[in-house]
A and B are shown apart, each in its own frame.
Chain A
Amino acid sequence: MSSVQIRDVRKSFGGFEVLHGVTIPIEDGAFVVLVGPSGCGKSTLLRMLAGLENITSGTISIGDRVVNNVQPKERDIAMVFQNYALYPHMTVADNMAFSLKLRGARPAEIASGVKRAAEILDLTPLLDRYPRQLSGGQRQRVAMGRAIVRDPQVFLFDEPLSNLDAKLRVAMRTEIKELHQRLKTTTVYVTHDQIEAMTMADKIVVMHDGIVEQIGSPLELYDRPDNQFVASFIGSPAMNFLKGKVKANGSLSFEGADGLKLPLKSAPANSDGLPVVYGVRPEHFTIADDGAEAEIVVVEPTGSETQVFARLGGEQVVAVFRERHQFNPGDKVRLKPDPSLIHLFEETTGKRL
């Protein structure tokens, strides 16, 4: 186990810079998820960590050692690939034993290492099978087994669940988290799925266009997103954004389009008339007599909760209710955001106010 330090790392392909100075501290034993839309540079960063891509500038260290010029095999890391990258011509046991064999381990050592990994992952009955004969979830587990066998300093996962069906993905999510709790190996996990990030991470790194937007625990990101991008990326259904101005003369409030008026608990000094984006999470709407009038467009019950899409101040918003209201499209309701839970962002920069 080791800590990992990524300091001001940049990456260019030709003249095109894809990572613009990324700094991420990763504590020993942490489960860190790099999340962001495709093309944000998260996979490239992971591959740089693995040693599969050069580092254009900045440093990456594993433990106390700067690994910029260290060969991948010397870095003592193991990686699980999106397509699993299992060797098709080797049995499950041989796939897991491969790295040990190359390292020149004794046969007894190899056998016990494979046996231990197979037991951890429930692969013992499959050891003689070839990858072709396995289901998607089994292949996924073999790929993890190959990583576990090596007992590395750091595990790297590159979107390992995106080739699985929805149900299996949820099951594997739990399995990977459980595995981490058991082995306590530092883990860096890349995904584009914010739910995976939220459910698995100790610490989430939200990336966008080659920069780090915010680093924090899942609930920190959820409760206090630093900017509008993080606010929109984390949470499902996504946060509602309404454009308008702060009204600070007399009582504090937010004024949107079509005369929409929403409550505001606090605002920066001298912000009267400041153009802002008003963010409300769907579950922070309540039905109240002093709420703003909205017209219901679509109602989607999911059983545990009901998602209501409505038009509010000329924009479509979504509200989520745990209680079962009887709504029909076209109904008028009065929606009131909880003023202590709303988020204000600067309209031009998207920064949190």
Chain B
Amino acid sequence: MSTLQTSVPVQASGADTLSLWARLRVNRNWIALWFMLPAAAFLILFLAYPLGLGIWMSFTDERIGRPGIFVGLDNYQWLWDDSIFWLSVFNTLLYTIVASAIKFAVGLYLALLLNRNMPFKAFFRSIVLLPFIVPTVLSAIAFWWIYDAQFSIISWSLIKLGLIEHNINFLGDANWARGSVIFANIWRGVPFVAITLLAGLQTVSPSLYEAATLDGATSWQRFRHITYPLLTPIIAVVMTFSVLFTFTDFQLIWALTRGGPVNATHLMATLSYQRGIISGRLGEGAAIATAMIPFLLAAIAISWFGMQRRKWQQGSSND
């Protein structure tokens, strides 16, 4: 009894705060917030904070070992007049557009192929995934050997076949180097596209193809009028991811060419690392990295609005 009596005045005095706290603890909306908090904290700490810090750094002249001061748009102005920066922008766009387009074409082709009934289907499907499973740096080292100026197996085979007379300087010549890193990126990126599109293909009901066959569609018309439109939502998602991954690629380039020869393969990501970390000019590196954001947002926006246009996916089903 006595404890009850003592607790009553305490509750009465702190009634407002206590009940607010109690309400926050049981309110459904707030409960959702509590559950999200750990994940949110994680994201804020490791994603939002570095992003914000990076953007802030791009407005300072910070170097490694020396805190910077705010310099406004100085870094960007400097980059605006820097031909190497513009070369890296060009390289990045070239790398992304060419590699993504080919990854899409080859991936779609492979997906259509793997979607057929054939012997050892599971085996081939898993084989296709191999390049994706191998760690990037490992496959980059393999490509490094394949592209080696002296020991390249490609050059060796072509010479033995009598098609060329001298080794191809895969990573030493600007255009060869660009082509080589794009090929390596395609090799690595195709499985992701192929397997995701294959998953999408398998959601298309076979009876739609049968109906189209009876309606008189040739196999090209079935692809054009059934497969392709039904696959567009997945194409949009997979190509958004593919473009984002390709645009921000770093490992492959760094392991193969470090941006060379003469910056011919420098992407914005590798240039940012070179300037920011290797050369220690954190502010400038951060500015290059920040300059990637508008491109990425544009890529996301295109696929987002592309996806929103499809009316047939909306509306409720009434069964």
Contacts and interface: CB of A to CB of B under 8 A. Distances in A.
Contact of A133 (B214, B216, B315): B315
Contacts of A136: 318-319
B216 A103 contact: yes
Contacts of B229: 89
A85 B210 contact: yes
Contacts of A135: 318-319
Interface in B285-319: 310-319
A77 B319 CA distance: 29
Nearest to A163: B319
Nearest to B207: A85
Contact of A98 (B225, B313, B318): B225
A90 interface: yes
Contacts of A102: 215-217, 221
A132 B315 contact: yes
B208 interface: yes
A73 B215 CA distance: 6
Contact of A89 (B214, B215, B216, B312): B312
Given A89-B230, A135-B318, A130 B312 contact: yes
A83 B30 CA distance: 44
Contact of B211 (A79, A89, A131, A134): A79
Interface string B212-241: 111111000100011001100000000000
A166 B168 CA distance: 73
A73 B217 CA distance: 8
Residue from B211, B216, B311, B316 having most chain A Cβ neighbours under 10 A: B211
A159 B319 CA distance: 18
Nearest to A88: B312
Interface residues of B, number: 26
Interface in B151-180: none
A50 B215 CA distance: 11
Contacts of B214: 50-52, 72-73, 77-79, 99
B205 interface: yes
A310 to B, nearest CB: 41
B79 to A, nearest CB: 45
Contacts of A98: 212, 215, 225
Contacts of B318: 133-136
A103 B212 CA distance: 12
B213 A132 contact: no
B210 A81 contact: yes
Interface in A19-69: 50-52
Contacts of B208: 85, 87
Interface in B185-225: 205, 207-208, 210-217, 221, 225
A146 B216 CA distance: 13
B205 to A, nearest CB: 7
Contact of A81 (B211, B310, B311, B316): B211
Contacts of B319: 135-136
B225 to A, nearest CB: 7
Contact of B207 (A72, A83, A134): A83
B312 A85 contact: no
A245 B205 CA distance: 54
Contacts of B225: 87, 98
Nearest to A91: B312
A81 B207 contact: yes
Given A88-B230, A133-B316, A135-B319, A73 B216 contact: yes
B317 A132 contact: yes
Contacts of A51: 213-214
Nearest to B314: A132
A103 B230 CA distance: 22
A130 B312 CA distance: 6
Nearest to A129: B315
B213 A52 contact: yes
Nearest to B208: A85
A230 to B, nearest CB: 31
B238 to A, nearest CB: 18
B233 to A, nearest CB: 10
Contacts of A132: 312-317
A130 B215 CA distance: 19
Contacts of B230: 88-89
A134 B69 CA distance: 63
A52 B210 contact: yes
Residue from A103, A131, A133, A136 having most chain B Cβ neighbours under 10 A: A133
9 contacts: A50-B210, A52-B214, A73-B217, A79-B210, A82-B207, A98-B225, A102-B221, A136-B318, A136-B319
Given A83-B205, A87-B225, 9 more contacts: A52-B210, A79-B210, A81-B211, A85-B207, A85-B208, A90-B312, A98-B215, A132-B313, A132-B315
Interface of A: 50-52, 72-73, 77-79, 81-83, 85, 87-90, 98-99, 102-103, 130-136, 146, 150
Q: 3 closest A-B pairs (Cβ-Cβ)?
A: A99-B215, A73-B216, A85-B211
